Amino acid sequence: MVKNPLNQKALREVKSNWKQYLSVILIATLAVTLFTGILANWRNFQFKLDTIYKNGNMTDAVVMVESQDEKLEKYFTDNDISFQKRIYLPAKSAQVDVNIITFCADDKYNKPAFMSVDELSPNMVLADENFIARRKIAEGGTFDVTIPSLTVLGIELKDIKLDFTLSGSMTHPEALDDSNYSSALLYIGEDVLIKAIKDYATSTYPAYANLITDSLIKENIDKMKNQYVLKSDNITENIKYINDNFSVLYALETKNLPSNLTIEADVIQAKKLIYIFPVIFYLVAVLIILTSISQLINKEQKNIGLLKALGYSNLEILLHYTNIFMLLCLIGSVFGMILGPTIIPGVMDQKYNILYQLPKIKTPFFRAEYLYSILILFVVTFLNSIFACMSSLKKVPAEGIRGENSYKMKPTLFDRLPILENKGLSFRMALRNMKRKFSRTLMVLLGTMGCSALLVCGFGIEDTLDNSINQELSLVPYDVNLAYKDYTSKAEEVLAIPNVSYVDEYAKYEIDINFKKLISSYIFILPEESHVFVPKYDKDSCLISSKVAKEIGAKPGDKISFNYANKKYEIVVTEIIDVSFSQGIFISKAANLIDFKPTNAWIRANDYDNSEEIALKAKDIPGILSSTSMPEMLVMIENTLQSIRIMTNTVKIFAILLALVVLYNLALLNFKERTKDIATLKVLGFSKYEIAASFLIEILLLTLVGSSIGLALGFPLMYSVLSINENPLLSYIYKIDGMSYLLTILITAGSSLVINFIISRFTDKVEMVESLKAIE
C-alpha cells in the first residue's frame, strides 16, 4: 500500500510543532470543559427538579383563601379546573418555622416525591430533612408544634400546642429549601390532626370531653381548609381571573410560589451561566486557533507553492492543513466532554446541596447537546483555515516557492514621537514587532484582557462577600444572639450574666410579603429603643431590606401588605436599608401592628472577648433554645458562603490556566516568527540578554495594556456572575478592593514575564547561519 505523502508531511509538522499544537489542544479542552460542564450542571439540576415535580404530581397553581369559598369552587368546576382542598398553617416547633400541610387518603396532587415509608396513609406525619436536622428528631420521635391562632369548635384560641409523632422523612416538591432561614414542612394526615386537636381540646376543656367527638372535629377541620391546589391547561389565564374577581390572599402559579421561586430562579441562573464563562473561553479559543493557523500557513508558503507545483489541487492542500487543526480540536473536545460533566456539576452540587433538599438522582452523563461544542470549534477551525490559506493558494507555484524575503514598513507618526528617539534598541525592536505583527499583537491584548477580567471577577466576588458580611455586622453589631423556646421574656436572667451590657429582645416572624410579587420573608419587631440595631426608627417607621425591596419592586412611600397567621396587614415603607443576612421588614414594637412576643434577643457584652463565655452561660437559662456567639455566627456564615467561594476559586483557576495557555502560545509564535531576526542579531554581536529584552519589553507592554482594559471589565463581569447566582440568604453589597486589581496585574504580568523569559532562553538554539537563508 502506497502511503499518502501529505499524511507523512502532516506527521512531521505535528512532531516539529508539538508545543504549539499542544496549546491549541489545551485551549480547546478548557473551552469545551466549561461549556459542557456548565451545560451539564444546568441539565442535571433541571432533571432533578422535574423528577421531583413528576413524582410528587405537582400542580400548576396554589390559591390561598381565609376560608372555603363556594363561588370559587364553582368557578373551578365550570372551567374544568381540577382542584384539591387542604389546610395550610404556618406554625413553630421550638424555634423552627414550619408550614403544616394536611392530606387525605384520596389526595393525588402535591404529594411527597420521595419518602422513607413504603406507603402513605392519613395516620402519618412526615417531615422534610430540614425539620429533622434542625429539631434533631429521629423516626418515631415525638415533638410539639405551636400554632399562633386556630379556631377550634367555634372558639379562636391562641398559641395552641399540639403533639405529634414522626412517621418518616420525605422530599416534598413544595419544600426544597434547606437553610436555617427557610421554613420546614410537615405533611400531616387529617386523622392525625383530628386526634391531636381532640387531645388538646379535651385537656383544655375537660368538662366538655364527652361532647368533643372525632366527627365534630372532622367537620370543624373541613371548614378550616384554606388552600386549593389546581391543575389546568390555561392556568395563567385562570390565575389572572381569580386575582381580579375573587377575594383571595394570593393566587400563584407553582413556579412563583415563595417555596419554589428560589429553586426555579436558580435553574434559570444555571442556564444563564452558559452565556458568560464559556463565551469568554470560546472567544479566546477562536483567537488562539486563528493565530496558530495564520502562523502555520505563513510559514508553509514555500511548501504550499511546492505542493501546487507537484500537482496537488487547492482543495487537497486546503484539507491537508485544515485536517491537522480539526484533529487537534477534536482531541481537545473529547477531553473537554469528559472533564466538563465530571468536574463542574460536582463543584456546583456543593452549592445546591447546601441550599436545597435534593435527593440523589442518577442523571445522564452524556447529552447530544455537548456535540455543539465540537461543532462550534470545527466551524471556527474550518473557516479560519480557509481564510488563512486563500492568499497563499491564489499565488502561482513559483511565487509561493520564492516566498517573502523582506517586510517593508513605513514610518508612522508614532515612530517620530520625541519620547522614543533615545530609547534603546530592544525597546524600539519591541515596538517594531508589535506594529509588524498587528494581528498577533491584538491577540495578546484580547487574551490578557479576558484573563485579567476573569481574575478581577474572581477576586471581586470574595471582596463582595467579605464586604456584605462587614456591612451586616456594622448595622447589627451584636455579640451574642439568643433564640427562645417560648414567647416569654428572659431579659432579667440574661442581664444577670457577668459582662452583659445590654439585652435587646425582638420578635421575628415568618411572613408572606406582597406588593408587585409575593415572597416569603420575615418581619422583625424591634424594641422601642435599641442598643444594637443601628439604623434609626420610630413607631411610624417601616424599614425594609434592599434585597426584599428589589424583589417585590417597592420603594419608600409604597404601601405593601403581608400575611401573618392567615391574616392580612398593610404598612407604608419609610426607608430601604442595606443589610446582608437580616432580610425582611423592620418595625417598632410601639407600632402595635402585631402582638409583640419576644422570640430572640441581641446581647452586647462589655468586651467582645467575653461573647463566647456569655453564650455558654445563656444556654443554661430555662427557656433558651439556642445561644450563638458572634465567632460561632461567623463560622456559620462562612459555611453558608463556602459554595460561592468554591465557584470563585474555580473561576480564578480557570482564568490562570487560560492566561498560561494563551501567553504560552503567543510567546511561542512570537519566537518562531522572529527566528531570522534573532539569528541576525546574534551575527551582529548582540548578547542573548539584549535579544531577550526585546521579547520581555514587548510582552510586558502588551500585558499591561490588555490587563488595564480587563480591569475595567472585571466589575461588570463580577456583577453579572453574582446577579445570576443570587443567594436567597444574602444580599450582595458589591465592592472590589484595590489589592484585587494589583494582584490581577501581578499574576498576569508575572505569568507573561516567566513564560517569555523561559522561551527567550531558546535563543541559544538558533543557528546564526539561518540569517543567511534568504531567497536569491
CA dihedral for 466, 468, 469, 470, sign (positive or negative): positive
Cα 542 to the center of its chain, rounded Å: 31
As a whole number of angstroms, the distance between CA 471 and CA 142 comes to 41
The pLDDT score that the predictor gives to residue 82 is 93
Strand order in the sheet with 168-171: 114-115, 168-171, 125-128, 184-189, 96-103, 88-93, 142-152, 155-165
Q: Give phi and psi for 373, each to the nearest 5.
A: -65, -40
The pLDDT score that the predictor gives to residue 775 is 45
Torsion of CA 220, 226, 229, 230, to 10 degrees: 100
Residues 634 and 604 sit within 8 Å (Cβ to Cβ): no
As a whole number of angstroms, the distance between CA 150 and CA 91 comes to 11
pTM: 0.66
By three-state DSSP, how is residue 109 classified?
coil
The pLDDT score that the predictor gives to residue 306 is 76
84: which residues sit within 8 A by CB, 6+ positions away? 59, 107, 108, 109, 110, 228, 229
As a whole number of angstroms, the distance between CA 90 and CA 98 comes to 6
The pLDDT score that the predictor gives to residue 357 is 83
The pLDDT score that the predictor gives to residue 314 is 76
Alpha helices in 476-523 (DSSP H): 491-495
Torsion of CA 64, 70, 76, 79, to 10 degrees: -140
| Number of residues that this document lists for the chain | 776
CA dihedral for 173, 178, 180, 182, sign (positive or negative): negative
As a whole number of angstroms, the distance between CA 259 and CA 101 comes to 13
The pLDDT score that the predictor gives to residue 148 is 77
Cell of 297: 500557513
Torsion of CA 550, 554, 560, 564, to 10 degrees: 10
Helix (H) or strand (E) holding 465: helix 438-475
Helix (H) or strand (E) holding 348: helix 314-355
- Residue 591 is given by DSSP the state G
The pLDDT score that the predictor gives to residue 603 is 92
By three-state DSSP, how is residue 506 classified?
strand
The pLDDT score that the predictor gives to residue 126 is 95
Residues 608 and 756 sit within 8 Å (Cβ to Cβ): no
* DSSP-assigned states of every residue in 134-174: HHT--TT-EEEEEEEEEEETTEEEEEEEEEEE--EEEE-TT
Instruction: Report residues of the chain scoring pLDDT below 50.
Output: 1-2, 405-409, 413-414, 771, 774-776
Burial status of residue 188 (CB atoms within 10 A of its CB: 0-12, 13-18, 19 or more): buried
As a whole number of angstroms, the distance between CA 277 and CA 725 comes to 13
Residues 36 and 343 sit within 8 Å (Cβ to Cβ): no
350: which residues sit within 8 A by CB, 6+ positions away? 642, 643, 646
Residue type at 450 in one-letter notation: G
Burial status of residue 171 (CB atoms within 10 A of its CB: 0-12, 13-18, 19 or more): buried
Residues 569 and 454 sit within 8 Å (Cβ to Cβ): no
Strand order in the sheet with 82-86: 82-86, 227-231, 61-64, 250-253
The pLDDT score that the predictor gives to residue 729 is 56
Cell of 573: 415603607
Alpha helices in 17-66 (DSSP H): 18-55
The pLDDT score that the predictor gives to residue 96 is 82
